[in-house]
Amino acid sequence: MSIFFSRQCEYALQSIIYLAQKKQGEMTTIKEISSHLNIPFHFLGKIFQKLSHKGLLHSMKGVSGGFWLAKPAEEIVLMDIVVAVDGSDIMNLCVLGYTVCDANAPCAMHTEWKATKEGFFAALSKKNILDVAKEIKKEGYKL
């Protein structure tokens, strides 16, 4: 499990990257993604519902239905997915878990964490899922 994201967010990131490896507009079922990525089917359904409401996925119901990216993969950055699932408040969370941690009332790790966090979230805002999907396809990566 990631130290930064909820399990739901991790699954959303993995699933959208999986969809980015498909041809643009190609529908994929939750069953296929769930099976391939070993994500509980019903949990993934709830995640995809949220991603659809946030405008990252399109869906079509029925026997020949499925999900596909709502925008080209190069237009979706990792941070779009993180914010859609975990919310933008994730960028303000204290690394030690305190509810109040800011410049006025910093925790013991506030200064170090702030610099790390800003760099990390900036990187997520630059990296699109098409680039990530291409990297994952390279030999040596294990899904």
**53-71 per-residue burial string, b: 16 or more CB within 10 A, e: under 16:** eeebbeeeeeeeebbbbee
| Cβ partners under 8 Å of residue 72, min gap 6 | 24, 130
Q: What is the pLDDT of residue 27?
A: 93
Q: Is the residue at 109 inside a domain? A: yes
- Which CATH number covers residue 123? 1.10.10.10
Per-residue pLDDT of the chain (143 residues; tens, 9 = 90+): 556 789 999 999 999 999 999 988 899 999 999 999 999 999 999 999 999 999 999 999 888 889 999 999 999 999 999 999 999 888 888 888 898 998 999 999 999 888 888 999 999 999 999 999 998 876 555 55
| Contact predicate 113/34, CB 8 Å | no
Provide the domain count of the chain: 1
Q: Is the residue at 1 inside a domain? A: no
Q: Is the residue at 40 inside a domain? A: yes
Q: Is the residue at 143 inside a domain? A: no
Q: Give the SS3 label for residue 8.
A: helix
* Cα-trace Rg, the chain: 17
For 128, list phi and psi in degrees, rounded to 5.
-90, 160
Give the range of the structural domain holding residue 67, as residue numbers without chain letter: 7-137
Q: Is the residue at 34 inside a domain? A: yes
Q: Is the residue at 81 inside a domain? A: yes
Q: What is the pLDDT of residue 95?
A: 86
Distance from C-alpha of 137 to C-alpha of 132, rounded to nearest angstrom: 9
Q: What is the pLDDT of residue 97?
A: 87
